[in-house]
Amino acid sequence: MTATLPGPCEFALADVLAGPGERLRYTYDFGDDWDHDIKLEKVLPPDAVLHGSAVPVCLAGKGACPPEDCGGDWGYASLKETIADPSDEEHERMLEWLGLEDPSDFDPAAFDLASVNDRLRGSV
């Protein structure tokens, strides 16, 4: 079962995901439409600690977080192509927009699990 909510709201995950295997789709930034599919793997007791953390934990991921306001999937794909092509007329402007001097500093395939979990814990 996939939960669907009518729009922006605040709720506890326990209110929409009752048990393991249930899923929800979360849309971040309704202009860019970043969809995240979330699956509840396991329900732990309230006092449980997992991977040294009592908050949600990311177990795996793939790819770098796209920059804010880059235009959704299609905009991010275009940005990656532009950064990879020094002959593109937008290349320098996109580097400047990202705050980069060298295109090699932009790695869309990078994923740092420890960094993600630091952010979930509020350490960053």
pLDDT digits (tens, 9 = 90+) for 67-77: 888 888 889 99
The two tokens of residue 32 are 């860019």
Q: Which residues contact 27 (CB under 8 A, 6 or more apart)?
A: 33, 34, 35, 36
Query: Which pTM value belongs to this model?
Result: 0.66
pLDDT digits (tens, 9 = 90+) for 91-101: 999 999 999 99
Residue 82 DSSP symbol: H
pLDDT digits (tens, 9 = 90+) for 26-49: 887 767 778 888 888 887 777 776
